[in-house]
Chain A
Amino acid sequence: MKLAADRILSLLLLGLAAFVAVQAWQLQVPFSYDPLGPKAVPLLLAGLLAVLAIVLFVRPGAGGDWPTGALLLRLVFTMAVLGLYAALFINLGFLVTTALVSVVIAWLFGATPVKAIVGGLLLALGSYLLFTYGLGISLPTGSWIEPLLGSN
Chain B
Amino acid sequence: MFDFLIQGFGVALTPLNLGLAFLGALLGTLFGALPGIGPINGIAILMPLAYTLGLPAESALILLAGIYTGSEYGGRMSSILLNVPGDAGAVMTTLDGHPLAKKGLAGPALGLSAVSSFIGATVAIIGLTLFAPLLAIVAVKFGPAEFFGLMIFAFASMSAMMGKDPLKTLIGAVLGVLISTVGVDSGTGVLRFTFDMPELYDGIDFVVMIIGLFAVSEILLMLEHAFRHDQDAEMAPVGRVMVKMSEVMYCKWAILRSSVIGFVIGVLPGTGASVASAVAYTTEKRISDHDNSFGTGNMRGLAAPEAANNASAAGSFVPMLTLGIPGSGTTAILLGALMLYNINPGPMMFSEQPVVVGGLIASLYIGNVMLLLLNLPLAGVFARVLQVPRWILVPSVAILAFVGVYQLNSDLMAIYLMLVIGVFGYLLRKFGFSLAPVVLGFVLGGLMEENLRRALSISGGDIAILFQSGLSIGLWIAAALVVLVPMFAGKFKAKFQKT
Residues on A lying within 8 angstroms of B by beta carbon are 5-6, 9, 13, 20, 23-24, 27-30, 32-38, 40-42, 45, 48-49, 52-53, 55-56, 59, 61-64, 66-67, 70-71, 74-75, 78-79, 82-83, 85-86, 89-90, 94, 98, 101-102, 105-111, 115-116, 119-120, 123-124, 127, 131, 135-140
Which residues of chain A have C-beta atoms less than 8 A from B403's C-beta?
94, 127, 131, 137, 139
Q: Give bound CA distance, A98 to B389, whole Å.
A: 18
A29-B190, A38-B188 known; A110 and B391 CB under 8 Å? Answer: yes
**B56 interface residue per 8 A CB criterion:** no
Which residues of chain A have C-beta atoms less than 8 A from B456's C-beta?
35-36
A56-B167, A78-B219, A105-B394 known; A30 and B227 CB under 8 Å? Answer: no
Asked whether B190 lies within 8 Å of A52 as measured between CB atoms, the reply is no
Asked whether A34 lies within 8 Å of B432 as measured between CB atoms, the reply is no
Which residues of chain B have C-beta atoms less than 8 A from A120's C-beta?
395
Interface residues of B in 190-205 (CB under 8 A from A): 190, 192-193
**B187 interface residue per 8 A CB criterion:** yes
Asked whether B415 lies within 8 Å of A37 as measured between CB atoms, the reply is no
Asked whether A119 lies within 8 Å of B391 as measured between CB atoms, the reply is yes
Which residues of chain A have C-beta atoms less than 8 A from B189's C-beta?
30
Query: Would you give the 0/1 interface string for B220-251, flagging 1 where the beta carbon is closer than 8 Å to chain A?
Result: 10111011100000000000000000000000
Asked whether A49 lies within 8 Å of B223 as measured between CB atoms, the reply is no
**B423 interface residue per 8 A CB criterion:** yes
* The residue from B165, B177, B389 contacting A111, defined by CB atoms under 8 A apart: B389
Asked whether B187 lies within 8 Å of A34 as measured between CB atoms, the reply is yes
* The residue from A52, A74, A82, A105 contacting B171, defined by CB atoms under 8 A apart: A52
Q: Give bound CA distance, A43 to B496, whole Å.
A: 43
**B488 interface residue per 8 A CB criterion:** no
Which residues of chain A have C-beta atoms less than 8 A from B432's C-beta?
61-64
Having A35-B460, A52-B170, one finds 4 other A-B pairs with CB under 8 Å, namely A41-B181, A45-B177, A123-B395, A123-B396
Q: Give bound CA distance, A109 to B178, whole Å.
A: 35
**B449 interface residue per 8 A CB criterion:** yes
Which residues of chain A have C-beta atoms less than 8 A from B216's C-beta?
82
* The residue from B407, B430, B457 contacting A137, defined by CB atoms under 8 A apart: B407
Q: Using CB atoms, name the residue of chain A closest to B221.
A: A75
Which residues of chain A have C-beta atoms less than 8 A from B460's C-beta?
35
Q: Give bound CA distance, A83 to B432, whole Å.
A: 26
What are 23 residue pairs bridging A and B, where the CB atoms are less than 8 Å apart in the complex?
A6-B431, A27-B192, A34-B457, A38-B188, A42-B192, A42-B193, A52-B174, A53-B171, A63-B432, A70-B227, A78-B220, A79-B422, A82-B216, A86-B419, A89-B406, A109-B223, A109-B389, A123-B395, A124-B399, A127-B399, A135-B49, A136-B52, A140-B406
Query: Would you give the 0/1 interface string for B159-193, flagging 1 where the beta carbon is closer than 8 Å to chain A?
Result: 00000010110110011011001000101111011
Which residues of chain A have C-beta atoms less than 8 A from B53's C-beta?
135-136
Which residues of chain A have C-beta atoms less than 8 A from B223's C-beta?
71, 74-75, 78, 108-109
Q: Give bound CA distance, A64 to B391, whole Å.
A: 26
Which residues of chain B have C-beta atoms less than 8 A from A127's C-beta?
396, 399, 403
Query: Would you give the 0/1 interface string for B418-437, flagging 1 where the beta carbon is closer than 8 Å to chain A?
Result: 01001100000011100000
Asked whether A79 lies within 8 Å of B395 as measured between CB atoms, the reply is no
**B131 interface residue per 8 A CB criterion:** no
Q: Give bound CA distance, A74 to B407, whole Å.
A: 29
Q: Using CB atoms, name the residue of chain B closest to A98.
A: B399
Main secondary structure of the interface of A (DSSP, over half): helix
Asked whether A59 lies within 8 Å of B406 as measured between CB atoms, the reply is no
**B153 interface residue per 8 A CB criterion:** no
**B10 interface residue per 8 A CB criterion:** no
Instruction: Give the most central of A36, A38, A116, A136: most B CB within 10 Å.
Output: A38
Interface residues of B in 389-413 (CB under 8 A from A): 389-392, 394-396, 398-399, 402-403, 406-407, 410, 412
Which residues of chain A have C-beta atoms less than 8 A from B412's C-beta?
86, 89-90
A109-B394, A111-B389 known; A89 and B192 CB under 8 Å? Answer: no
A105-B391, A120-B395 known; A38 and B190 CB under 8 Å? Answer: yes
A35-B460, A79-B423, A135-B53 known; A55 and B174 CB under 8 Å? Answer: no
Which residues of chain A have C-beta atoms less than 8 A from B220's C-beta?
75, 78-79
Asked whether B192 lies within 8 Å of A106 as measured between CB atoms, the reply is no
Task: Give the shortest distance, in Å, between A138 (CB) and chain B (any CB).
Answer: 8
Asked whether A35 lies within 8 Å of B190 as measured between CB atoms, the reply is no
Q: Give bound CA distance, A2 to B456, whole Å.
A: 45
Asked whether B188 lies within 8 Å of A37 as measured between CB atoms, the reply is yes
A45-B174, A52-B170, A55-B167 known; A75 and B395 CB under 8 Å? Answer: no
A64-B431, A106-B395 known; A36 and B452 CB under 8 Å? Answer: yes
Q: Give bound CA distance, A139 to B399, whole Å.
A: 12
Q: Give bound CA distance, A49 to B168, whole Å.
A: 11
Q: Give bound CA distance, A90 to B402, whole Å.
A: 12
Q: Using CB atoms, name the residue of chain B closest to A124.
A: B399
Which residues of chain B have C-beta atoms less than 8 A from A52's C-beta?
167, 170-171, 174
**B461 interface residue per 8 A CB criterion:** yes
Asked whether A34 lies within 8 Å of B188 as measured between CB atoms, the reply is yes
Task: Give the shortest distance, in Å, between A132 (CB) and chain B (any CB).
Answer: 10
Asked whether A56 lies within 8 Å of B171 as measured between CB atoms, the reply is yes
